[in-house]
Amino acid sequence: MSEHALTLAPMTADEIARKMAGGHSVFSPSGAEMTMTCLGALIPNALAEDETTFEAAEGTVAHSVGETWLKTGERPDHLVGRTVEMRGHEIEITEEMLGFVQDYIDLCDEVSKDAEHCSAENHVDISDLTPIPDQGGTMDYCAFRWQHLDIVDLKYGKEAVFAFYKDEQKVNKQLAIYAWGIFKAWDWLYNFQTITLHISQPRLPHLRSSHTMTRDELIAFADFARGRWALAWDRNAPRTPSIRGCRWCKIRQTCPALYLFMEQDISDVFDDVDVIEGEVISRSWTHEEMDEANDKILDELAISPFPNLPKPPELSTAALAKLLRYRRFMENFFNAVYEELLERANSELEEIPYWKLVESRTRRKIVDDEDFVVEELVDLGLEEKDCFETKLKSPAALERTIHAKLKMSIKKAGAFLEERGLTVRPPGKKTLAETSDNRPALPKDGDVFDDVEPF
């Protein structure tokens, strides 16, 4: 067990108490990818105000639906149509949400078939990995039996997350931490030798991701996590931007290290310099270097970190492949920059260079009083049917209607539509996905000629 020798060094007791009063640990499993990669992200993220996006609130409600479903053993149809206020957002529980959560429930049922113990939405203690006590997180679901442990996590968002990243040969840190919490609590009785991490992502095409670790691999990961978090417990810890690590960082929009990251790494890719396979992680930057970066950003005569963009055909395949990995990273970064600047323009007295606050473009819409609109148009000479348009429902909507009217399960309704030839799934367009994606790779266009036998 950790002796917590560094208990109050970088954060005061009051700062720690304020963070944990909101139900969040300073050392959060969900932030492990960020804080173990970028050591300097831990303290400022712990001190930043907790803000909940609509997507995060929606995910929390979906998890609550899943918890109710698992604990009662019944599909919670009675929740459909209910609106939940979640941290400033109103989230409606719909049939579509239940349909997505169904995949998570099915996965939990699958791993529980031979299990001796199952548990949903349980707090796991991970204090032995951290320099301060009482740290932990809430695990979605676990099931275990003699010598085997399954961890299941529901990801309700639309950004792909994997249990194991094949291109980097790295495990999902959040799930591995949950596994360690269960391992530490129950290994004395179940002697775990294998641990399988599962992710259900029902709103994405690949749906699920899984990875099995050995006992020794999990213990080695715990040693790694303990060492990284010990180094992160320092207000002057260096920052190391990365594609996945910066995704949910609360300070990314004002982080000078990101400027340096883009200046060095992305410029190198454009120039085909040091284009290598593997994780796109730049070097770490000290606080002194970041102060210099701030000065550089403010210098209008300084060279832009973004070079004159070459045409894609001018770049090598390796450069293009590496460059595409930055796409979501850059979109998230600039979206965060925009939101931060918009807030400052709206609330601060200082002048914003290059930009001004204006009203965005809008489109016309029908007023909310539908009866009034129809009445006025009928008085004009239209028939009531002229005011509306109808179309056949989507497969998902028809499944929900069959379920509601005929009391058939959503799963059986889908099977009925498919068996009767009422639905068809046309092939999707070819697209690029990470190598960790579990969809099979498609043949290249030229491959069809390889199978042609000579006359």
Nearest partner of 36 among 260, 249, 199, 330, judged by Cα:
249
Rounded to the nearest 5°, which phi and psi values hold at 103?
-60, -40
* Range scoring the smallest mean pLDDT among 207-221, 222-236, 346-360: 346-360
Q: β-strands 207-214, 89-92: how paired?
A: unpaired
Residue ending a domain, choose from 282, 305, 325: 325
What pLDDT sits at residue 289?
79
Q: β-strands 148-154, 136-145: how paired?
A: antiparallel
Spatial neighbors of 314 by CB under 8 A, at least 6 apart, are none
- Residue 347 belongs to some domain of the structure: no
Q: Is the pLDDT assigned to residue 167 strictly greater than 50?
A: yes
Q: Please check whether residue 296 is in contact with residue 210, taking contact to mean a CB–CB distance below 8 angstroms.
A: no
What pLDDT sits at residue 301?
55
Helices (H), 191-286: 215-232, 256-261, 267-270
How many residues would you count in the chain? 455
- Residue 105 belongs to some domain of the structure: yes
pTM: 0.76
Q: Please check whether residue 263 is in contact with residue 299, taking contact to mean a CB–CB distance below 8 angstroms.
A: no
Q: Could you tell me the residue range of the domain that residue 104 belongs to?
A: 13-232
Looking at the structure, tell me whether residues 153 and 115 fall in a common domain: yes
CATH code for position 38: 3.90.320
| Digit-coded pLDDT (tens) for 17-37 | 998 887 789 999 999 999 999
Helices (H), 82-125: 95-112
Spatial neighbors of 104 by CB under 8 A, at least 6 apart, are 66, 140, 152, 154, 200, 202
Looking at the structure, tell me whether residues 23 and 109 fall in a common domain: yes
Looking at the structure, tell me whether residues 51 and 160 fall in a common domain: yes
323 vs 453: which has the higher pLDDT? 323
Q: Name residue 80's amino acid.
A: V
Integer Rg of the chain from CA: 26
Looking at the structure, tell me whether residues 127 and 215 fall in a common domain: yes
Measure Cα distances from 210 to 31, 73, 204, 206, 264 in Å: 20, 24, 15, 11, 34
Looking at the structure, tell me whether residues 51 and 132 fall in a common domain: yes
Nearest partner of 250 among 47, 60, 56, judged by Cα:
47
Q: Is the pLDDT assigned to residue 349 strictly greater than 90?
A: no
Looking at the structure, tell me whether residues 211 and 318 fall in a common domain: no
What pLDDT sits at residue 226?
97
Q: Name residue 297's amino acid.
A: I
- Residue 243 belongs to some domain of the structure: no
**Per the structure block, which two tokens stand in for 455?**
């006359």
Q: Is the pLDDT assigned to residue 203 strictly greater than 80?
A: yes
- Residue 293 belongs to some domain of the structure: yes
Q: Name residue 59's amino acid.
A: G
What pLDDT sits at residue 276?
42
| Digit-coded pLDDT (tens) for 381-422 | 989 989 988 889 888 788 878 887 888 887 788 889 999 999
Residue ending a domain, choose from 197, 232, 267: 232
| DSSP 8-state symbol, 311 | P
| DSSP 8-state symbol, 48 | S
Q: How many domains does the chain have?
A: 3
Looking at the structure, tell me whether residues 271 and 383 fall in a common domain: no
Q: Is the pLDDT assigned to residue 286 strictly greater than 60?
A: yes
Nearest partner of 186 among 145, 126, 137, judged by Cα:
145
Looking at the structure, tell me whether residues 272 and 225 fall in a common domain: no
Q: Please check whether residue 100 is in contact with residue 156, taking contact to mean a CB–CB distance below 8 angstroms.
A: yes
The maximal CA–CA distance of the chain, rounded, in angstroms, is 82
Looking at the structure, tell me whether residues 213 and 271 fall in a common domain: no
Q: Strand ranges (DSSP E) for 296-393?
A: none
- Residue 314 belongs to some domain of the structure: yes
- Residue 437 belongs to some domain of the structure: no
- Residue 301 belongs to some domain of the structure: yes
Q: How confident is the model at residue 298 (pLDDT cuts 50, 70, 90)?
A: low
Q: Please check whether residue 195 is in contact with residue 205, taking contact to mean a CB–CB distance below 8 angstroms.
A: no
Looking at the structure, tell me whether residues 215 and 279 fall in a common domain: no
Looking at the structure, tell me whether residues 216 and 268 fall in a common domain: no
- Residue 430 belongs to some domain of the structure: no
Q: β-strands 194-201, 148-154: how paired?
A: parallel
What does 407-439 look like in DSSP terms, one character per residue? ---HHHHHHHHHHTT----PPPPP----TT--S
| DSSP 8-state symbol, 314 | G
Looking at the structure, tell me whether residues 51 and 146 fall in a common domain: yes
**Per the structure block, which two tokens stand in for 37?**
């990669």
